[in-house]
Structure 1
Amino acid sequence: MPIEPSGTAFDFIIVGGGTAGCILAERLSADGRHTVALLEAGGEARSPWTVVPAGFYKLLTNPSYNWNFRTEPEPATCMREIAVPRGKGLGGSTLINGMIYVRGQPQDYNRWAQRGCTGWGFDDVEPVFRRLETYVGPDPDDARGKDGPLPVCEVEERPAIAEAFISAGEAAGYRRNPDYNGVSQDGFGYYQVNQKSGRRVSAAAAWLAPARGRKNLAVLTDTFAVKLLLSEGRAAGVEVKRPGKAERLSARCEVILAAGAVQSPQLLELSGIGRPEVLKAAGIEPRHILSGVGENYLDHFCTRMNWRVSRPETLNEETRGWRLLRAVARYALARKGVLTFGTGLAHGFVRTREGLEGPDVQFFFMHASYANAAERKLDRFPGMTLGVTQLRPESRGTIHIVSPDPARQPAIRPNFLATAEDRRAMVEGMKIGRTVMEQAPMDAFRVREMSPGKDCVSEEDWLDFARRNGQTIYHTAGTCRMGGEADPECVVDARLRVRGIKGLRIIDASVMPEMVSGNTQAAVMMIADKGADLVLADTRG
């Protein structure tokens, strides 16, 4: 039988049952030598929508599955509060994300290594990516894993409008890429997703579920971490709130933060670890100075251009009325149809100028258009959307607490479009997107560009559209960044150990020193799996 919590000690305490936490729980409990507690503030993934790929439409604003964070209003984005969804419950954001699986470019990880993160170059992490996945799809470069815990496949439903978009990319001079996770990311094709037989496969399903019966693993849901317990320069445990009571759980070996790029720095600061001026302003007594906590916030900023479509063959129609009933029946009987779609159907990875090592802009094509992009409310007429995002933004924001109350969300300040290069790349990316959509293969579907519209022509017009309409695409990262010994601003070293505090590690998206070129879930899975190797090696040592 699994361990029943009794306020006792564990070898490892993992704070956060999301993507990284589920992987860590499985890996650290696998050999049976160590007792492991996985703490998750949310609950079990009981909603049937968590396994239906299109279910994210239902869960995106559901407080049971989403923390519903929002950014602070900033002048660069017209003083708008921008939604920053983060998954809640076992499986974390893999319960509500678009399931898009992108490793990124080799240069991403080589840049990490060049910044002093020894052991994180692409040659180091590529074998980890292979062992994560069971990939079913074209593998012309022999670059993919075939027997990992996570099933990955290309999207199976391929409407004619998606094929037209890929052909339009070719007509504009780009290649069709059979595997953007292979040797080269450049080009157009279909997205790869973590699905099997038409069902979403979350981190909880792929890693945690097979481990739930282990006697040395305690999975504690509805368990909110309030602060870290520090003793003589060591993380001794975690203070938590559970229904009806508060507890202190102690860690014999390590406390591992896997709460994500919003809540890992938040918990550090609530525990007195961070920038003294931030802590004092929030009413927290500083206990350990680490100036990088909450800094270096990275995210992908995305604009969504959309067009009116001539045929009633888009998700705008297929997810309403009798068509929706037909779609539900088809999914129930065959696990096929529109309910297998996530947030992206076809992709494009392009370069906006000469001299780049790899693509700097990513396209997300979907045969749907949104009356409200933040809430994924669809238009009531046929439409299609092209999301445009800069892959490696230079802009850096912050995430810091503003109160000693653990239940109060921290101040999220993305600082989008802060640099000239970020503004240039976004504008050029949108221009290229329009050029692709104006190619002949789209003629049979395209009626007119609705947003930003034909009157958007100057650099100022494009940038104004981005400022007024752009959203994050929920790739929060970097707020407890990794660095080398000579880097005074890093929060963790290359073995993911918090600087200056023994027995404390961070293993999640917050440790990324720079953004990866694409959706971040694959990189987080890699960080967790490699991080587990580091924990086990250091424990044996």
Structure 2
Amino acid sequence: MAEREFDYVVVGGGTAGCAVAARLSEDPDVSVCLIEAGPSDVGDDQILDLSRWMELLESGYDWDYPIEPQASGNSYMRHARAKVLGGCSSHNSAIAFWAPKENLDDWAAGGATGWSAEECYPFYRKLETALDTTEEAEAPGRGTDGPVTIRTVGDQDPCGEALLAACEQVGLPTTPFNTGRTVLRGANWFQVNAKPDGSRSSASVAYIHPNLDRPNLTLMTGYRAEKLNLDTSGPRPRATGARLRTPDTRHAIDVTARREVVLSAGAIDGPKLLMLSGIGPAAHLREVGVEVVVDAPGVGENLQDHPEGLVQWEALQPMPTASTQWWQIGIFAGSEGRTTPDLMFHYGSVPFDMNIVRYGYPTADNTFCLTPNVTGAQSKGTVRLSTRDYHDKPKVDPQYFTHEHDREVMIRGIRVAREIAAAPALKEWVGKELAPGEQDSTDEELFEYIRKTHNTVYHPSCTVKMGADSDDMAPVDAQLRVKGVDGLRVADGSIMPDLITVNPCITTMMIGERCADFIRNPR
């Protein structure tokens, strides 16, 4: 069995893992290994050209996880998880937001000490170079020399311009994003982590591509982790590395970490790998035949997501034939009395019929849509092993719309979308409502449509949440160390105590930055 040894082993070359590996390898006196199950994205225009991102769904770059049958949701839905260097930052629409101050302060107040907005915002600044942004007096100050380029979408989209005017007419003013002020009600063109030429500024492009020649950074693509290796001979188990396999070999490869292992495999594969390694809910592990090393009941619990609805219209004028990434505008429509919005929309300038055609809803080639999503969904699910074989996909059960709050917010979202579409500014654009269609008007009719056809914004998170040492359902502490195991941290979207209001990609990079800082500067 071949063996390799490093100071640090990062399992998962995704949105956070790339940041962790790059920052740790800035120290020339340590060696770092970054492991990614998928291929490299270097020179691959299918990945790097942001406008082609929708081609990646259910492609060879997608782990493509089905979900368990849903009592209140769309059982046909699938979760796209990227199988490529850069992870979901190489696979998504690159919408870039800092987390609202209120979200981060709630994390800290709930037991994630050190994760307040005041303590996290410097790491957002560290990772970004922000282009053409609007600053306000209360803005936290945008970064100017970080590896990730963030800029405002500048598409020539007359329907989008009319949409922003329509939003103004219904009380949702054009409001700058990422200024330090949480937008409760407003709309604007998105900011994206992309370069001016339309190529991605993903975690791999930003953190790994410029550093491929570092002698102390080893990149291993095409290697899938079977399990984490744990030494159980001492008073506490210690992570010593990972066992890897490639699709074309029967032989395992062990990589060894002299100092620490960082697991950055995401909110689905991360808890799966922990459980396969014996770290998870003891009863479940025994049920599937995995030896229990650490009884960690919170592993795979607390799955949160942004469920997404759809209102789609036939366009009366030709829609754009080119775009930065086809989802260019965000709209927030928070309820009165809230400090963060409970409802967000993405405006799409292309047909989005993947979940409606099976039910006979009409579609067309020239359409636009608004996709309301529940930003603070109260329905929470689980990730569980299906078997103890690492080849097998885990059981992903988001339990969509099992909480009444989520139903109410989504129904309101469809009504708000219709209100925007009825505004005078969109009169020359809005044709027939294709889905759900004007025949659905009652709350019951609208929820039945939602239940059958809803999608996701592909933001599964929170399945290995961080929290106070006393919180038995928080598998990691506030410095991302796995409780009960030495030498093991988790750094990805799974560690969020609660999913943030907005698209979480940039926050996941920030988590990677913070993990590297914890390791390099022990508290």
Please tell me the residue identity of whatever aligns with 1:179.
F
Residue 179 of structure 1, CA deviation: 2.3
Deviations 1:157-206 (A, max 9, x none): 13111011111110001221122453132311101111112212221110
Matched residue of 1:195: which SS?
Answer: coil
Please tell me the residue identity of whatever aligns with 2:255.
L
Residue 486 of structure 1, CA deviation: 2.1
Q: Hey, what's the Cα distance between the residues in 1 that align with 2:296 and 2:356?
A: 34
Q: Is the 8 A contact 2:355 2:454 kept in 1?
A: no
Residue 469 of structure 1, CA deviation: 0.7
Matched residue of 2:229: which SS?
Answer: strand
Structure 1 residue aligned with 2:300:
294
Q: Hey, what's the Cα distance between the residues in 2 that align with 1:471 and 1:132?
A: 30
Q: Is the 8 A contact 1:140 1:179 kept in 2?
A: no
Structure 2 residue aligned with 1:189:
188
Please tell me the residue identity of whatever aligns with 2:192.
V
Structure 2 residue aligned with 1:326:
none
Q: Hey, what's the Cα distance between the residues in 2 that align with 1:509 and 1:381?
A: 35
Q: Is the 8 A contact 1:128 1:529 kept in 2?
A: yes
Change over 3 Å in CA distance of 1:374–1:134 after alignment to 2: farther
Deviations 1:44-100 (A, max 9, x none): 12532111112112222212x11111111112115x231100111111111210110
Q: Is the 8 A contact 1:104 1:181 kept in 2?
A: no
Q: Is the 8 A contact 1:477 1:509 kept in 2?
A: yes
Change over 3 Å in CA distance of 1:71–1:374 after alignment to 2: farther
- 1:266-305 matches, cutoff 5 A: 266-305=272-311
Residue 363 of structure 1, CA deviation: 0.7
1:239 equivalent among 221, 237, 243: 243
Please tell me the residue identity of whatever aligns with 2:453.
N
TM-score, normalised to structure 2, is: 0.94
Q: Is the 8 A contact 2:306 2:457 kept in 1?
A: yes
Please tell me the residue identity of whatever aligns with 2:176.
P
Q: Is the 8 A contact 2:476 2:483 kept in 1?
A: yes
Aligned length: 507
Q: Hey, what's the Cα distance between the residues in 2 that align with 1:424 and 1:181?
A: 30
Deviations 1:336-362 (A, max 9, x none): xx1x432521110111x3211121111
Q: Hey, what's the Cα distance between the residues in 1 that align with 2:39 and 2:478?
A: 32
Q: Is the 8 A contact 1:481 1:512 kept in 2?
A: yes
Matched residue of 1:184: which SS?
Answer: coil
Q: Is the 8 A contact 2:350 2:369 kept in 1?
A: yes
2:343 equivalent among 361, 364, 370: 361
* Residue 53 (structure 1) aligned with residue 50 (structure 2): yes
Please tell me the residue identity of whatever aligns with 1:362.
M
Change over 3 Å in CA distance of 1:180–1:363 after alignment to 2: farther
Q: Is the 8 A contact 2:96 2:190 kept in 1?
A: yes
Structure 2: gaps of 5 or more residues: none
Residue 423 of structure 1, CA deviation: 1.3
Q: Hey, what's the Cα distance between the residues in 2 that align with 1:73 and 1:398?
A: 13
Q: Hey, what's the Cα distance between the residues in 1 that align with 2:402 and 2:83?
A: 30
Query: Structure 1 vs Structure 2: percent identity of aligned residues?
Result: 31
Runs of 4+ in 1 over 6 A off after TM superposition: none
Deviations 1:218-237 (A, max 9, x none): 10111111111111311111
Q: Is the 8 A contact 2:65 2:80 kept in 1?
A: yes
* Aligned CA-pair RMSD: 1.7
Change over 3 Å in CA distance of 1:180–1:173 after alignment to 2: farther
Q: Hey, what's the Cα distance between the residues in 2 that align with 1:457 and 1:104?
A: 34
Structure 1 residue aligned with 2:217:
217
- 1:297-446 matches, cutoff 5 A: 297-314=303-320, 318=321, 338=322, 340-351=323-334, 353-373=335-355, 379-446=363-430
Please tell me the residue identity of whatever aligns with 2:173.
R
Structure 1: gaps of 5 or more residues: 319-337
Q: Hey, what's the Cα distance between the residues in 2 that align with 1:58 and 1:425?
A: 30
Q: Hey, what's the Cα distance between the residues in 2 that align with 1:259 and 1:361?
A: 29
Q: Is the 8 A contact 1:144 1:182 kept in 2?
A: no
Matched residue of 1:100: which SS?
Answer: coil
Deviations 1:421-460 (A, max 9, x none): 1111111122112111110000010112111111221111
Please tell me the residue identity of whatever aligns with 1:535.
I
Structure 2 residue aligned with 1:40:
36
Structure 1 residue aligned with 2:131:
136
